């Protein structure tokens, strides 16, 4: 039985860790007027070796976070890395002020927590995106749609080429 996370249309397959990566890549491709990429969502970086064993290495390319790079590089020949992660890349590309304009008021709750007071704004934004259920998925598309096309993070452009 074919994995429902793999959409078979072309021979090249982009392997990503999570749904927010897929959403962002599809949004970038759409904004650039490119065909929708074929993407397999692992549901966690530690699945990469078993996925490659089942799929084979032919024409696979990976997109991962900096912390998972070693896992992806052991399994794939071509890997593009988000530093530190997709959210960090998008926040840098947008700029923290623009990212703040796009998020909802619940971000202020995080900023009031003692552990996060005084932390750099970019780190607070990254934590907010990854800490609240659904934020990664919600903001991946919104952030990409809000980017100037000349500011698309390099790893996202590279994995689509």
Contacts of residue 141, defined as CB under 8 A and 6 or more positions apart, other chains included, come to 23, 24, 27
> What interhelical angle do 121-131 and 86-94 show, nearest 10?
130
Nearest Cα to 126, choosing from 107, 147, 152, 154?
107
**How far is the CA of 51 from the CAs of 47, 80, 160, in angstroms?**
6, 17, 20
- Give me 52's structure tokens: 């490659």
Q: Could you report the per-residue pLDDT of 68-87, keeping only the tens digit for each? A: 999 999 999 999 999 999 99
What is the number of other CB atoms lying within 10 angstroms of the CB of residue 77? 10
pLDDT of residue 9: 41
Higher pLDDT pick, 64 / 106 = 64
Average pLDDT along the chain: 90
pLDDT of residue 8: 43
What secondary structure does DSSP assign to 47-77, as a single string?
A: GHHHHHHHH-STTEEEEEEGGGHHHHHHH-S
Distance of alpha carbon 2 from alpha carbon 22, whole angstroms: 18
Greatest mean pLDDT range, 4-8, 10-14, 46-50: 46-50
Whether the predicted pLDDT of 131 surpasses 50? yes
Which pLDDT band holds residue 143 (cuts at 50, 70, 90)? very high
Global pTM? Answer: 0.88
DSSP code at position 23: H
DSSP code at position 86: H
């Amino acid at each position: 039985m074919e994995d429902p996370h793999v959409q078979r249309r072309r021979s090249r397959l982009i392997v990503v860790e999570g749904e927010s990566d897929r959403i962002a890549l599809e949004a970038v491709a759409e904004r650039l007027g490119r065909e929708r990429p074929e993407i397999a969502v692992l549901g966690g970086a530690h699945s990469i070796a078993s996925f490659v064993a089942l799929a084979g290495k032919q024409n696979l390319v990976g997109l991962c976070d900096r912390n998972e790079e070693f896992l992806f590089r052991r399994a794939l020949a071509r890997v593009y890395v988000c530093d530190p992660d997709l959210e960090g890349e998008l926040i840098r590309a947008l700029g923290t002020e623009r990212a703040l304009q796009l998020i909802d008021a619940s971000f202020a709750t995080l900023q009031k927590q003692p552990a996060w007071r005084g932390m750099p704004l970019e780190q607070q934004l990254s934590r907010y995106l990854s800490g609240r259920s659904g934020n990664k998925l919600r903001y991946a598309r919104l952030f990409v749609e809000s980017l100037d096309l000349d500011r698309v993070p390099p790893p996202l452009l590279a994995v689509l080429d």
